Structure 1
Amino acid sequence: MKIFSFVFVFILLTVTSNAGIADTVMAHSNAMHKDIRCVVITPAAYDGKKDFPVVYLLHGYSGNQRDWITKVPAIKQYADEDSLIIVCPDGNFNSWYFDAPMDSAVRYETFISKELVTFIDGRYKTIKDKKARGITGLSMGGHGALYLAFKHQDVFGVAGSMSGGVDIRPYPLNWDMAKLLGSYKEHAGNWEDNTVINLVHLLTPNTTAIIFDCGTDDFFYKVNLALHEKLLYAGIPHDFIVRPGGHTWEYWANAVPYQLLYMKSYFAKQPE
């Protein structure tokens, strides 16, 4: 029994020691004149010598930078298994990750796509190229990830979304988005210009690798299906995953390892 206990403890320590390490850093935004908290997860193999690919992982509405590591602790293990640096920025509880036309204090498109990428590449050993840089997220963060990737194809080579609000127009009274975009009745152009589904025209086939998924019981299911159909019509290759599930952390905890594996595969295929 003592021998068994020793072996079990040894195996347990071996497994847990191979999880990534999470730190909280402060990244400054000149666009918003403030410091923004970000959780950065480095794989166990990170030693400051080898360069690693980076995945930016965005939280949803009312969340913050700690959502992923507190609600999906296995994310640290995934960083290690997939040899990735994972960056979870605080996107404010309701930014939708764009530069808000009606609020000059909300500049999260600029922050994520420019300031944060520059900060991470300057502070960590990263592969400083779109071929080694991905972005994904859940719900509001799913919208943000595809929105930023479609608009900044020179920055992100691969993009994903989990239960993303990929068309915000059906929800003009939800989540205080009118504070950022104005009312749909009076400022329809802001809503049309800042919804993911209307950005498909920016894409060319095989420029950006795309994966997104949504549960059949999710209130965003229909808009994700519509995005899939629009991408098909435009001839844009992508992976679209549909399975049972709702707008829950149980769903996202199941989805994120597949998203990261997809990105790991993309990174591995890129020429050095």
Structure 2
Amino acid sequence: MPLGTDKLKEQFQKSKKVRRAWSTYKWFDRIRGWQDWYNWLSTFLQTKAGAAAALGSTAVLTTAAVVVHNVVVDPYAEPYVPTEIAPLSAAEPMRQTKGTLIFEIEGRDKAGRRGTFDVVVAKKQFLWVRGSAEDLERDGRVISGAEIAGDVLDQEVRDGLASAREIVAVGTASQEGNPVEEKKRAARRATRTAELVSGAIDASIPISSLNLGQYRERCFSCDADGTNWQRPFMVIAVKELEEGTVVAEALADAMTGKERLPSPASYSAFELTKIR
């Protein structure tokens, strides 16, 4: 028997409601799936493998509001925090002295053995004179070894270095100049740093030099003054090492991904050499 008009209307309305409910469910299911994907992507990019994948790519990944890109950061500037994805690690100084910022970092060698380090970085008014491997400047004025000892390697810094298992004197060069010559200059700066530090610590503490070479992430908008931060005066105290730790590997790992510290990936070398 044919259905009446009212009955047909009632069934049609029910059918529309069912279709609308199913469509709404599918829409929410898609949104939930996108959120799950976004959460996974965010977590992945905060791992070392994810960071390598993102930084190793020349493409720009864009999905809705998510943008992954490689940024050159001034290590002396305020930490860069993108709104889309948090950085891998924002190193903060654990303490300050009159002339330095001191960072505590840790890393592992390729076998997973742990090392901890105190990184002593001279404040930005203390820098290597451009083109020199002998002289430091303070606010543009060349300073003497005595001033370095008093204002950078002050008693508080010396007390911290005194308990180190080993001292690593770091040399860097900014982006200007010939890469081969600048790498040599960075090596001489590391040696000069070791000379300056040796008078501030006990003769029994081993010293190595770390040549990071020339800064290679070109900053085309920087003038000569704008690259000063690429050649900091820096000393590293090796504090703790698990048995058998390869210092170079653990230190490279510890320095990687720290916004306010020189990253090994941004320089042309990572050469650790025993001095004494």
TM-score > 0.5 by shorter chain: no
Between 1 and 2, higher relative CO (CA 8 Å, sep ≥ 6) is seen in 2
Larger strand percent? 2
TM-score by length of 1: 0.33
